[in-house]
Amino acid sequence: MKHSLFTTLIIMALWGLYPLSPGTEDSWVKKADMPTPRYGLAASVVNGKIYAIGGRGIIPSLSVVEEYDPLTDTWTRKADMPTPRSFLGASVVDGRIYAIGGMGELATVLSTVEEYDPEKDTWTRKADMPTSRYFVSCSALDGKIYAIGGQTIDDQNNHVVFSTVEEYDPASDKWIEKADTLRARSTSSCAVDGWIYAIGGGTINMVLLDMEEYDPELDKWRGITNMPDARYSLGASVVDGKIYAVGGGNNRRIAVAIVEEYSPITGRWTIRANMPTPRMDLATSVVNGRIYAIGGTPQFPFRPLPTVEEYTPVGWSFRFSLYDKLKTTWGNVKADKN
């Protein structure tokens, strides 16, 4: 049987003819800065590109949308979101991004939902979320989006924190109420293997380390293993079924560089390599097994950052080393043939 040249190179690599890293360490690498420094932004991935949406910079609430391509390490400006806002939630269903809630101009708390089509670079208004809120966390699961927790400002200018969970169906453009979280909080969330996890966050006067797990079939939350370090406004992303809690702020309102990995299978947390730039109110997204930590602010008083750093989890360094070496070798072979 004849093998293609690329297949032969793979076999050679597996035989050890190409030195590969053992994949026992995780690592961070600096990437190209985001053109618009900001914190309190949202980020979502469609077709291998990351879309950084809204947030706060010098202007309190932004409508800026910028697209990041990890392959070329470049940023491209896209159509502005119709409603300027920060501390919003965002999720992807069927290749479209849904920007949900947040804080608008003049500190207005929003229920606004807008759908972004990356192929057409256009925005469309959708049905409002029933509960206006900012610091809302959104996770998509089985074609539905779950808007979790968050807070508002009442008529007496008091901050009110929610345990509210509402489910949005993009197909019908309708919202329904679901079971509240066990604790009212502004939290970070992600979905893994049919479950949703609410991680850390804060109340009005407390920074949290507790974690909750949601079963959408039973519409029920339960408390699970606490995060080792209490923090709020962190990034939460999933690689290979494991959750990575990245950065955030501690109870002194100072940003941290902490990265902790949670395995839903074992129920255990593991300390991982610190992010190079401590920050909170950042966004994280995953492309091809790598986590991108985007924007954020270092501490109070807030200062928007353009910083982008790429994280490679344990075990992925082997895969990327193999891919990079094969890609380089294949390029050299093609160059020799030409």
SS3 assignment, position 209: strand
Ordered DSSP codes for 86-146: BS-EEEEETTEEEEE--B-GGG-B---EEEEETTTTEEEEEPPPSS--BS-EEEEETTEEE
For position 59, what pLDDT does the model report?
80
Selected residue with higher pLDDT from 332 and 205:
205
Q: Is the pLDDT of residue 9 over 60?
A: no
Full set of structural domains in the chain with CATH? 1-23+318-338 (no CATH), 25-314 (2.120.10.80)
pLDDT band at 330 (very low <50, low <70, confident <90, very high): very low
Q: What is the mean pLDDT of residues 304-321?
A: 81
Average pLDDT over residues 1-18: 42
Rounded average pLDDT over 114-127: 98
Strand partners, 196: 191, 214
Distance (Å, whole) CA 119 – CA 138:
22
Q: In Å, what is the CA distance from 32 to each residue of 35, 235, 292, 307?
A: 9, 19, 11, 8
Checking if the pLDDT of 16 tops 80, the result is no
The confidence score (pLDDT) of residue 317 equals 53
Q: Is the pLDDT at 23 greater than 50, yes or no?
A: no
Structure tokens at 336: 């020799």
Q: What is the pLDDT of residue 316?
A: 62
Q: Quick check: 5 pLDDT over 90?
A: no
Q: What was the pLDDT predicted at 301?
A: 73
DSSP codes joined into one string, 191-202: EETTEEEEEEEE
What is the band of 34 on the pLDDT scale with cuts at 50, 70, 90?
very high
- Confidence class of residue 239 from pLDDT cuts 50, 70 and 90? very high
Q: Please state, in angstroms and rounded to a whole number, the distance separating the CA atoms of residues 205 and 218.
A: 31
Rounded to whole angstroms, the Cα distance separating 186 from 179 reads: 16
Tell me the three state secondary structure of residue 306.
coil
Which tens digits make up the pLDDT trace of 41-56?
A: 999 999 999 999 999 9
The alpha carbon dihedral of 223, 224, 225, 230 has a sign of negative
Q: Give the per-residue pLDDT at 279.
A: 97
Helix (H) or strand (E) segment spanning residue 148: strand 144-148
51-99: pLDDT as tens digits: 999 999 988 899 999 999 999 999 999 999 999 999 999 999 999 999 9
Q: Is the pLDDT of residue 1 over 60?
A: no
Q: pLDDT tens, 136-155?
A: 999 999 999 999 999 999 98
What is the predicted pLDDT for the residue at 43? 98
Q: Could you give the CA distance from residue 194 to residue 210 in angstroms, rounded to a whole number?
A: 20
Q: Which residue has the higher pLDDT, 35 or 107?
A: 35
Give CA–CA dist 229/20, Å, rounded. Answer: 34
CA–CA separation, 146 and 180 (whole Å): 11
Does the pLDDT of residue 318 top 90, yes or no? no
What percentage of the chain carries pLDDT values higher than 70? 86
pLDDT at 22: 39
